[in-house]
Amino acid sequence: MASSLTFFRLFFFTVTVISSVSADLFIVGGAFGWEVPNDTQFYYVWALRRQFYIGDTLRFHYNPVDSLMIIPQWAFPRCDNRRPAAVFKGGDTQINLDKAGTMCFISGDYHRCKEGLKMALEVYNPDQEDTNSSVALPPSIPNATVPSHLSLAPSLPDSTVWFAN
């Protein structure tokens, strides 16, 4: 009886630890990294195919002469880099996702950003179900594939993420 109780406690502890340690590390852009893409929608599609949660980490590999910026959502469509929330340099940056909401990343070089070196993504709280969240495809991607866990809606609340060229 004592050994089965000990086994149960050990099993419960193991399951609890495994379920609470679920943070993922994402290499942004995969093997391509954080470089000017051939398709300006590359990072939009890359982010759309993943779900990001508080506790996850993004790792950016980029040209050391460039910089990486986190900018407000309103500045994203225009690649407005005048008031960044954060600036990173050096070619290898890790960003821990520590709060839910939309995060916007751009190249510090305006022209590279306009060429597609930008990405916006939604960070979710793993402890909350978000049933009202939707991501809309911009009109410039008519044949893009959307994962089944995302829904498309013609009009969305303020949490809409739009990706402009």
Q: pLDDT at residue 4 above 60?
A: no
Close Cβ partners of 48 (under 8 Å, ≥ 6 residues apart): 135, 137, 144, 146, 147, 150
Q: How many residues does the chain have?
A: 165
Q: Choose among 106, 148, 126: nearest CA to 52.
A: 126
Q: Residue 73: count other Cβ atoms within 10 Å of its Cβ.
A: 16
Check: CB of residue 71 under 8 Å from CB of residue 83.
Answer: yes
Kindly calculate the radius of gyration of the chain based on its CA atoms and give it in whole angstroms. Answer: 19
User: What is the structure's pLDDT at 127?
Assistant: 86
- pLDDT, tens digit, 9 for 90 and up, residues 43-81: 999 999 999 999 999 999 999 999 999 999 999 999 999
Distance separating alpha carbons of residues 101 and 99, to the nearest angstrom: 7
- Domain spans of the chain? 22-124
Q: Which CATH superfamily is domain 22-124 in?
A: Cupredoxins -  blue copper proteins (2.60.40.420)
Q: What angle do CA 94, 97, 90 make, to 5 degrees?
A: 20
- pLDDT, tens digit, 9 for 90 and up, residues 108-158: 999 999 999 999 999 999 888 654 444 443 433 333 333 333 333 332 333
- pLDDT, tens digit, 9 for 90 and up, residues 74-117: 999 999 999 999 999 999 999 999 999 999 999 999 999 999 99
User: What is the structure's pLDDT at 107?
Assistant: 97
